[in-house]
A and B are shown apart, each in its own frame.
Chain A
């Protein structure tokens, strides 16, 4: 699974790079994958799997999926 961290997720927590390639042994809940990486789920505003927005609570990711997560963005 290829994971792109958009916005501040690549620095918050400050250790994460912008892109990660993860080996998934089996289909997994996206929320659990992100939690395992130390990404605070409460800051995830949108998640997209293979270009489609998904529900973070229920989305299941497969090996080979392309995933992006986005923070909530204000104006300015």
Chain B
């Protein structure tokens, strides 16, 4: 088999046993890495209804099919398990260098079960793997732990994937980081890792991708062509020049910059947070991921020196800035650094603090509750004070470390109205009232509110734009308004969802592939063909994406999820308080009708969201139909 090591490392932490499994090509072509491979393993090996933080949870770390290929943005790996935040299928992707390094070390995925009696880390190097004590790393910040691992193993080129203090403390929105600058932030995968007493996975590999590829020469040529195209692509060029913080000003102008816990869409202090302020006040350099010419990562100053943890992405600027009513960019950068040192998801952390601020302003939390902290919108010191308390589960942090949904249940009263979450996961910093497909994505995503389910509506409103033209290869033919729930728009959604799901299977970054960026659909297919030698078509590509989504859905159905969980916070069905969209709610009835339309397109029962047996068999998932009671 070309383009893959076809090897999975299986680790049982309870018994300290390590084994290697080799996959065959027929299996791998159906589940070629990332979300698909993780979904298959979770569906077949996770004992249903088991506590996410018990030893029985199954933690899967899986490279995408193309991860490590010499093509810009083919860098992603997925971390998956039952989520302690949502109780459902858990998943989080990251880029960087760790995934490619795992491949060069001889493995595509790691399946981790059990719980170590004492803290350990996993050391993988050129086909070998061993568990080592991590007792000296337990309780340390992520930068200290990474440095200690590299020092004791005697190689500064080792790539370290790890959780942090927040994961050790089982905070359900604790994440993972690799190289301190790339994050599997969402869904609490760090807490699962912490529950297993596994602090880190260090890898080093010296294989070369070229020796694995079916046609390395053609793949290299494609990678070179794509790299040269970055400056000619408006979206990719913007990611290189400004990075994701460049989103702040355009979203504010459109009235869809989440502000003060999604009450408002325009932040009056936006000028202090926009890219020009970022560039002037904190920006020091651009960084990249493995073999990527887009180079969207930022380095920044925190406390007067270049941070070890990289710069805040747009999501972090949004969550700690406008969503908390804060205009101090230095405080935002500090909050980002703190989360990364403790290893908390910046989105859920910022959004949960914004939730608490609104509760505080409504008297649902008192000064006594907060330990004397004046937790009002706009108070940067209060926001910063919350982060260590959450990570260490101390004081008010004990309550907030549960995330906004569970905290609201404990606070009671109207607090549930202020919890901006779906399935327990906090909304990312994208306002669905101005781009309805984002709202559908938040609602239907199996992992809870996720902003990367489909390309956002904004890039597909003008049929003559570069983004729209790039999407034509997917079968997108007709422009759709931003605020529409039409049946035609749901057809687009269904295409885009399968396409984005494929990206999570084959390891391409959202910032590489059209319509978000420059790599055309046909070039994605070419890359797979050159890597594997498969006769890979768009039909097969979309089917792989759909298969992965269906497995995640089946996992959730087995855990008791149903259509009622595919919903949105009530606030989104009311109007924003300010800006161009002031007073314009998302129409609830049309939203529900759009969901029904989408489920029918997917071949799912619109009452239950159970995939129909015919559809499952068409996706080669007939074996999974009976995993859920009432399989149709």
Interface residues of A (CB under 8 A from B): 6-8, 11-12, 14, 18, 42-43, 45-46, 48, 53, 68, 70-76
Contact = CB atoms under 8 A, between A and B. Distances in A.
Interface residues of chain B: helix, strand, loop or mixed (majority) = helix
Query: Quick one: which of A8, A11, A42, A74 has the most chain B CB within 10 A?
Result: A74
Contact of A46 (B250, B451, B464): B250
B428 interface: yes
Contact of B254 (A8, A14, A70, A74): A70
Interface in B358-408: none
Contacts of A42: 462, 464-466
B253 A72 contact: no
Contacts of A7: 238, 242, 246, 249-250
- Report, nearest first, the 5 A-B pairs whose CB atoms are least far apart: A8-B238, A42-B464, A70-B250, A72-B458, A73-B250
Interface stretch (B142-150, B229-237, B559-567): B229-237
Query: Quick one: which of A42, A45, A53, A76 has the most chain B CB within 10 A?
Result: A76
A11 B455 CA distance: 23
Interface string B216-251: 000000000000000100110111011010110111
Contacts of A75: 247, 428, 430, 438, 451-452, 456, 510, 516
Contacts of A70: 249-250, 253-254
Contact of A73 (B458, B464, B465, B580): B458
A43 B465 contact: yes
A74 B455 contact: yes
Contacts of B238: 7-8, 11-12, 71
Contacts, number: 90
A8 B249 contact: no
Given A8-B238, A43-B466, A75-B430, 5 more contacts: A7-B246, A8-B242, A46-B253, A73-B251, A76-B313
B452 A45 contact: no
Query: Quick one: which of A11, A18, A71 has the most chain B CB within 10 A?
Result: A71
A19 B282 CA distance: 22
Contacts of B464: 42
A46 B254 contact: yes
A6 B250 contact: yes
Contacts of A11: 237-238, 241
A24 B510 CA distance: 41
A76 B451 CA distance: 7
A58 to B, nearest CB: 16
B459 interface: yes
Contact of B459 (A12, A14, A72): A72
Interface in B431-465: 438, 451-452, 455-456, 458-459, 461-462, 464-465
Interface in B264-298: 276
Interface residues of B, number: 40
B80 to A, nearest CB: 21
B511 interface: yes
A37 B8 CA distance: 55
B153 to A, nearest CB: 34
A74 B250 contact: no
A70 B248 CA distance: 11
Contact of A74 (B242, B276, B313, B456): B456
B314 interface: yes
Contacts of B451: 75-76
A71 to B, nearest CB: 7
Contacts of A12: 234, 237-238
Nearest to A76: B244
Contact of A76 (B249, B466, B516, B580): B516
B467 interface: yes
Contact of A6 (B249, B467, B516): B249
B317 to A, nearest CB: 12
A43 B253 contact: no
Contacts of B458: 45, 72-74
A72 B465 contact: yes
Contact of B247 (A46, A48, A76): A76
B584 to A, nearest CB: 14
A76 B511 contact: yes
A72 B459 CA distance: 6
A53 to B, nearest CB: 6
Nearest to B249: A6
A43 B238 CA distance: 13
Nearest to B251: A73
Nearest to A52: B580
A18 B247 CA distance: 16
Contacts of A8: 234-235, 237-238, 241-242
Interface string B10-25: 0000000000000000
22 contacts: A6-B249, A6-B250, A6-B253, A7-B246, A7-B250, A8-B238, A8-B242, A12-B237, A42-B465, A42-B466, A43-B234, A43-B462, A48-B253, A53-B253, A70-B250, A72-B461, A74-B458, A75-B510, A75-B516, A76-B239, A76-B247, A76-B516
